[in-house]
């Protein structure tokens, strides 16, 4: 598996992350998860890798704030999956999945340099 970055083409943070990767001479496949929805298994794995659904979902986003209150309290994994399937922009971005299958969310040069073995 190659390194993959999941996000949205029009997201400034995703653009910044991709530009940083290019500046480091690193290649990664970019997948816009609005155009290519992420499957339930991958979402479950990501949630497990990052510490749960609460950490995978961006609860500071406009999308989250605009949800009805009853949707903001999913009762379990099935409801989290349904929510993210309906609103893919809820996933924090970008999601970095390294060749070993480990996922993380968000971008910082320091953390990505450490994860990708690049001198910062």
- At 38-50, the pLDDT tens digits run 999 999 999 999 9
pTM listed for this prediction:
0.91
Q: What is the pLDDT at residue 118? A: 87
pLDDT tens-digit readout, 5-56: 999 999 999 999 999 999 999 999 999 999 999 999 999 999 999 999 999 9
Q: What is the pLDDT at residue 49? A: 94
Domains of the chain by residue range: 1-36+106-120, 39-90
CB 71: neighbour CB atoms within 10 A?
14
pLDDT tens-digit readout, 91-108: 999 999 999 999 999 999
Q: What is the pLDDT at residue 120? A: 61
**Once rounded to an integer, what is the mean pLDDT over residues 86-91?**
93
Strand partners, 96: 5, 104
Alpha-carbon gap, residue 6 to 17, rounded angstroms = 11
Catalytic residues: 11
Q: What is the dihedral of CA 67, 72, 77, 81, to 10 degrees?
A: 10
* Spatial contact of 83 and 90, defined as CB atoms under 8 Å apart: yes
């Amino acid at each position: 598996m190659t390194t993959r970055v999941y996000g949205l083409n029009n997201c400034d943070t995703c653009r910044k992350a991709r530009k940083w990767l290019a500046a480091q001479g690193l290649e990664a496949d970019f997948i816009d998860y609005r155009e290519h929805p992420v499957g339930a298994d991958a979402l479950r794995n990501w949630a497990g890798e990052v510490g749960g659904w609460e950490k995978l979902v961006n609860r500071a986003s406009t999308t989250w704030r605009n949800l009805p209150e009853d949707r903001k309290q999913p009762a379990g994994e099935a409801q989290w999956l349904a929510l993210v399937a309906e609103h893919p922009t809820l996933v924090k971005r970008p999601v970095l999945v390294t060749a070993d299958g480990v996922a993380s969310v968000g971008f910082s040069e320091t953390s990505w340099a450490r994860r990708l073995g690049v001198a910062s």
